[in-house]
């Protein structure tokens, strides 16, 4: 069913992608390889969609004796085409070797077939105002409706999709039925916050009439989707409290998770979101360069500098550029072994010559439609990188490339890939190189208007995310390896999954940067 949804979503695509320029001084955006990257340690687990290995040619048989001459017979008509596999419409074109004569086109009297056009349309963002599109998703999932609920911002998914005006603190419901108009159930004191929404409005005044009005809202509904996940399997979608679930089930309505609906609505960036993301990437790269240049200048000049000094410089840069973000990670020396370390005024280490440094930045434009971007960069406050650090980082980067290659390969073959599969591939690689015990977190997570987005996470470590990576959504790929009490390395990029394949939107680091060359 999820694969059918992927096809349905691609039908909503209506705009053409525009390539974004790379930041000055950075390598242009990578063209991802189709095959697995070169890996000196071995590959990932078997891919069920991988191309079969080439069949060795059959052994030559000894020449047979010429048969006796027989009277000439009429040759049967030649079969059209070549026996074997049918033509693959997505196969790469065959390129003639240099200097080979051009083959003249066959004279058939018909015009040559049109050249294949690589699909580049950006999937449009589906909002609740796109009632037909949302109801199409409900029909595919065989749901009677999508019921969104929030109380005082406890469900950021519903709050983002419905976007009531002002600050609402009382419980509200918004139902998008599979047929008919949407209906809202809101408190009488907050009804004006929902005036901009299409559909009917039901109201209640207190707890005595909330349950009866909820039954009116759900009349005729048998199964609805809700921001709920059975046994909290996908915590990022599990937002509705147990008491509200009891109210809905008490009205005789079964509940299913809205995780797939969220992925095909909130998690889709759209053309404007993709542009907003690339703008955030530009600012992020400039802020990272400035922070590293500041460290290099201070260390080279023998001036004191701490992790907190660098973090505050980054925070001021965000504010000056009209951005918002989570507190940047700036870790030096042994603190790099903690993937969630954040310096504070009371807890910050000095940055000294020879220290390994981790900088993680996540930000977006300070606007409701801003899309997050995230990157982790490694450097050393010295002229050279130690072999131990260099080898550890190379291993992490190869793990990252395993993930990107798998996603690119499945996209080329028009085959689905789940977040759990990507995470499994990375950890299987780390297991082969005997580094899996150094893994402390998932491979990556969804990003959209929220830093922890509504799409599939690259995770079969902290939770098992079996959702399919959906074209039009974005995520981070950021594996890390950590040796407790010594050091840690991490490489993280942001990725947009276009219909033609993944775009790495941030610079991909292949080696630790030496700041004092």
Instruction: Give pLDDT tens digits for 194-229.
Output: 999 989 999 999 999 999 999 999 999 999 999 999
Handedness of CA 248, 249, 251, 254 (dihedral sign): positive
Tell me whether residue 245 is exposed, middle or buried, using C-beta atoms within 10 angstroms of its C-beta: 0 to 12, 13 to 18, 19 or more: middle
Nearest CA to 495 out of 512, 513, 471, 511 is that of: 471
Domain ranges of the chain: 131-266, 270-514
Q: Are 171 and 190 in contact (CB under 8 A)?
A: no
Contact 217, 185 (CB under 8 A): yes
Burial of 10 by CB count in 10 Å (0-12 exposed, 13-18 middle, 19+ buried)?
middle
Residue 438 main-chain phi, psi, to 5 deg: -95, 0
Q: What is the dihedral of CA 393, 396, 402, 408, to 10 degrees?
A: -80
pLDDT for the residue numbered 47 = 59
Give the CA diameter of the chain.
102
> DSSP E strands: which ranges in 98-190?
121-122, 145-150, 172-177, 183-187
Q: Round to whole Å and give the CA distance between 341 and 330.
A: 8
What is the CA angle 418-462-397, rounded to 5?
70
pLDDT at 517: 85
What's the pLDDT score for residue 456?
A: 96
**Distances from the Cα of 82 to the Cαs of 55, 76, 87, 91, 108, in angstroms?**
18, 16, 10, 16, 18
**What is the CATH class of 131-266?**
alpha beta
Task: Provide the pLDDT for residue 309.
Answer: 98
CATH for the stretch 270-514:
3.90.230.10
Given this model, what pLDDT does residue 365 score? 96
SS3 368: coil
**Helix/strand/coil (H, E, C) string of 60-98?**
CCCCCCCCCCCCCCCCCCCCCCCCCCCCCCCCCCCCCCC
Q: Which residue from 503, 508, 32, 477 is spatially nearest to 278, judged by alpha carbons?
A: 503
pLDDT of the residue at 225: 97
Q: How far apart are CA 248 and CA 139, in angstroms?
A: 21
* 390: exposed, middle or buried (Cβ count in 10 Å: 0-12, 13-18, 19+): middle
Look up residue 183 and give its two tokens: 């209906």
pLDDT (0 to 100) of residue 53: 61
Identify the sign of the CA torsion 284, 287, 293, 294. negative
The pLDDT value recorded for residue 20 is: 42
State the chain's mean pLDDT as an integer. 84
Residue 4 backbone phi and psi in degrees, to 5: -60, -40
Specify the pLDDT at position 40: 40
Q: What is the distance between the alpha carbons of residues 9 and 136, in angstroms, rounded to a whole number?
A: 10
Radius of gyration over every alpha carbon of the chain, rounded to an integer in angstroms = 28
Distance CA 354, CA 374 (A): 26
DSSP secondary structure string, 459-494?
A: -BSSSB--PBP-TT-EEEE--EEEETTTEEEE-BEE
Fold agreement between 131-266 and 270-514: no
- Residue 15's pLDDT is 38
20, two tokens: 């974004």
Q: Which residues of the chain have pLDDT under 50?
A: 2-3, 7-29, 31-44, 70, 72-97, 100-119
Angle, CA of 511, 364 and 292, to the nearest 5° = 35
């Amino acid at each position: 069913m999820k694969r059918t949804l992927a096809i349905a979503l691609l039908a909503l695509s209506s705009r053409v992608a525009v390539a974004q320029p790379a930041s000055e001084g950075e390598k242009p955006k990578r063209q991802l390889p189709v095959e697995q990257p070169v890996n000196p340690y071995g590959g990932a687990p078997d891919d069920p969609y991988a191309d079969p290995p080439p069949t060795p040619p059959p052994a030559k048989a000894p020449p047979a004796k010429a048969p006796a001459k027989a009277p000439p017979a009429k040759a049967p008509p030649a079969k059209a085409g070549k026996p074997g596999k049918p033509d693959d419409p997505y196969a790469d074109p065959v390129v003639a070797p240099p200097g080979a004569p051009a083959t003249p086109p066959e004279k058939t009297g018909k015009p040559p077939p049109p050249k294949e056009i690589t699909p580049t349309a950006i999937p449009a963002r589906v909002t609740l105002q796109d009632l037909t599109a949302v109801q199409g998703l409900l029909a595919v999932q065989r749901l009677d409706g999508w019921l969104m609920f929030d109380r005082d911002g406890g469900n950021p998914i519903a709050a983002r999709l419905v976007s009531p005006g002002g600050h609402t603190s009382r419980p509200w419901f918004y139902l998008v039925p599979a047929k008919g108009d949407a209906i809202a159930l809101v408190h009488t004191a907050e009804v004006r916050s929902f005036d901009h929404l299409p559909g009917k409005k039901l109201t209640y005044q207190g707890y005595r009439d909330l349950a009866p009005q909820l039954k009116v809202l759900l009349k005729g509904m048998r199964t609805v989707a809700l921001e709920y996940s059975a046994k909290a399997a996908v915590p990022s979608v599990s937002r509705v409290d147990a008491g509200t679930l009891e109210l809905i089930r008490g009205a005789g309505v079964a509940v299913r998770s809205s995780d797939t609906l969220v992925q095909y609505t909130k998690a889709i960036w759209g053309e404007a979101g993709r542009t907003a993301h690339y703008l955030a990437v530009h600012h992020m790269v400039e802020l990272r360069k400035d922070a590293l240049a500041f460290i290099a200048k201070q260390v080279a000049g023998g001036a004191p500098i701490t992790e907190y000094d660098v973090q505050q410089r980054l925070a001021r840069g965000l504010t000056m550029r009209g951005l918002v973000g989570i507190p940047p990670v700036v870790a030096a020396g042994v603190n790099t072994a903690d993937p969630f370390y954040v310096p504070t005024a009371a807890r910050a280490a000095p940055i000294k010559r020879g220290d390994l440094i981790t900088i993680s930045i996540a930000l977006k434009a300070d606007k409701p439609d801003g899309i997050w971007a995230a990157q982790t960069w490694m450097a050393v406050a010295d002229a050279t990188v130690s072999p131990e650090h260099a080898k550890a980082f190379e291993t992490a980067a190869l793990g990252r490339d395993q993930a990107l290659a798998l996603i690119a390969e499945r996209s080329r073959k028009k085959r689905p890939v789940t977040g759990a599969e990507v995470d499994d591939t990375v950890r299987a690689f780390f297991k082969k190189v005997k580094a899996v015990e150094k893994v402390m977190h998932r491979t990556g997570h969804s990003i959209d208007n929220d830093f922890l987005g509504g799409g599939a996470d690259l995770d079969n470590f902290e939770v098992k995310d079996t959702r399919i990576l959906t074209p039009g959504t974005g995520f981070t790929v950021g594996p890390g390896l950590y040796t407790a009490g010594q050091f840690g390395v991490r490489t993280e990029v942001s990725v947009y999954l276009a219909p033609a394949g993944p775009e790495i939107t941030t610079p991909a680091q292949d080696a630790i940067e030496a700041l004092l060359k």
